[in-house]
Chain A
């Protein structure tokens, strides 16, 4: 369990929106590196099961960007080789590299987002946009395990009836289609029954309210305020063109003017925000744990 499970999902969603939007739409090498570093730090801080394959993906993606960008784009001034009258340039390769870093950062942020934003939280956020849509998604999420169970039952039933599936593809496909066809009938009938009983319980009545388990607490206000202020710094610097970075035809020097520094620091603080929250929370848990060990407890002598 992460400490973000008790936060209001809207807070968490707005934070991720800030980080990702500011990160991927500002093409600046420093911002891309900060985004990647922050995403990796947060990934380390999150106490959830992590998929190791993601690293292979991001590395491959970065390499692919670095290779393909100079092959297909020929602008830039420092030529490495000329192939078929096309210049392969250093600038294009470096653009590819930073593009890859930016994309990798986004991939890691999204991996953390998926780990935190479980389906119930997505439904909660959807409820703000449209309650009907939220209802459809909630029902679909409830139907998924139900239909999978039913499909297994049907498959077993068919085996018991003597309708065996062979190992050949055609036979397997036909068997799957038999199950699917049965499932479709079951599903449609079930739909009618469900909707009729919903109507009977007053679903189509006029007034409807949604209920949720997530209060908007002080911690949410604090976290939201921090992330909005830091994001505003980064967006302000971007809007004032301080973070603008040119790769072509020559690469710019990294800007160190005050406004650019404001952008870097703001975005850096934004990226480190969740790791600090998560890490701090776990530290607090460690500190508050009882120091009395079992051996210290003496039973009263009778």
Chain B
């Protein structure tokens, strides 16, 4: 298909997509759907930025071990979400994403967060929210990966980060809810949306801390052991 044999064509296409296709999609949509231009704009930006990250991931040289480990992390997060799906608002995706992102780096962290959202939604239900979840969890992973030096081995810092990441996740999703429904960002709607989701947000943030605190220690132990055993 597009990802054909011609390496030059492939490169040209990726540049074209970045500088022509994405702005064109966003701008034309904003002018076409005038009564919904803001919601369309942020939807398109979220969906396309996830796509862009995936493209970047493709171009970068990622070691095979890193790649397979990322797949395993996605599995852990998705299975964890399915296991805890009986408690509303509780899932270990943030905790697992952050812990792996600290070890694997920002880009892999973004991919783990984003694809955990995508795959677990195959079971939990896809929707208009999928690109936003991918974006929100991806950003949580990206930031954790970028600050991996500060986070590595510090369980308390990690717990604080996942707590605020849980809050930020809910707030990002609420921004989307408000803009989608009303096409404007009005504080009264936003406060209404946040307050109606408050119990979930609280449960989510606290459960993140619990997951991180429980997982951080076995995690660093196992990875340290593997580092010695295989000399990574």
Contact = CB atoms under 8 A, between A and B. Distances in A.
B232 to A, nearest CB: 8
B198 interface: no
A251 interface: no
Interface string B164-187: 000000000000000011110010
**Which of A106, A143, A190 is packed against the most chain B CB atoms within 10 Å?**
A143
Given A26-B33, A135-B67, A195-B64, A106 B74 contact: no
Contacts of B188: 72-73
Interface string B198-232: 00000000000000001100110011011000100
B111 A133 contact: yes
Contact of B72 (A20, A24, A191, A245): A191
B192 interface: yes
A20 B32 contact: no
B69 A184 contact: no
> Which of B71, B111, B122 has the most A CB atoms < 10 Å from its CB?
B71
A107 interface: yes
B70 A136 contact: yes
Contacts of A241: 34
B118 A184 contact: no
Given A128-B2, A192-B65, A195-B64, A139 B71 contact: yes
A244 interface: yes
A199 B64 contact: yes
A185 B122 contact: no
Interface residues of A, number: 64
Contacts of A72: 188-189, 192
B118 to A, nearest CB: 7
A285 to B, nearest CB: 29
A95 B94 CA distance: 36
B22 to A, nearest CB: 12
Given A99-B181, A119-B122, A122-B122, A191 B75 contact: no
Contacts of B186: 73
A144 B1 contact: no
A143 B71 contact: yes
B115 A130 contact: no
Contacts of A110: 125-128
B76 interface: yes
Interface string B61-99: 011110111111011101100000000000000000000
Interface string B108-136: 00010001001100100111100000000
A194 interface: yes
Contact of A129 (B54, B63, B222): B54
Contacts of A185: 222, 225
Interface in A179-216: 180-181, 184-185, 187-192, 194-196, 198-199, 203-204, 209-210
A27 B125 contact: no
B162 interface: no
A235 interface: yes
Contact of B75 (A24, A114, A147): A147
Nearest to B188: A72
B226 A203 contact: no
A126 interface: yes
A140 B33 contact: no
Nearest to B61: A204
Contacts of A181: 218, 222
B150 interface: no
B128 A106 contact: yes
Interface in A28-74: 65, 68, 72-73
A184 B218 contact: yes
Nearest to B80: A180
Interface of B: 1-3, 5, 29, 31-36, 39-40, 43, 51, 54-55, 57-58, 62-65, 67-72, 74-76, 78-79, 111, 115, 118-119, 122, 125-128, 180-183, 186, 188-189, 192, 214-215, 218-219, 222-223, 225-226, 230
21 contacts: A21-B40, A25-B36, A73-B182, A110-B128, A111-B125, A114-B125, A119-B119, A129-B55, A130-B57, A130-B58, A133-B54, A133-B58, A135-B67, A136-B111, A144-B78, A185-B222, A188-B72, A192-B230, A195-B69, A238-B33, A244-B34
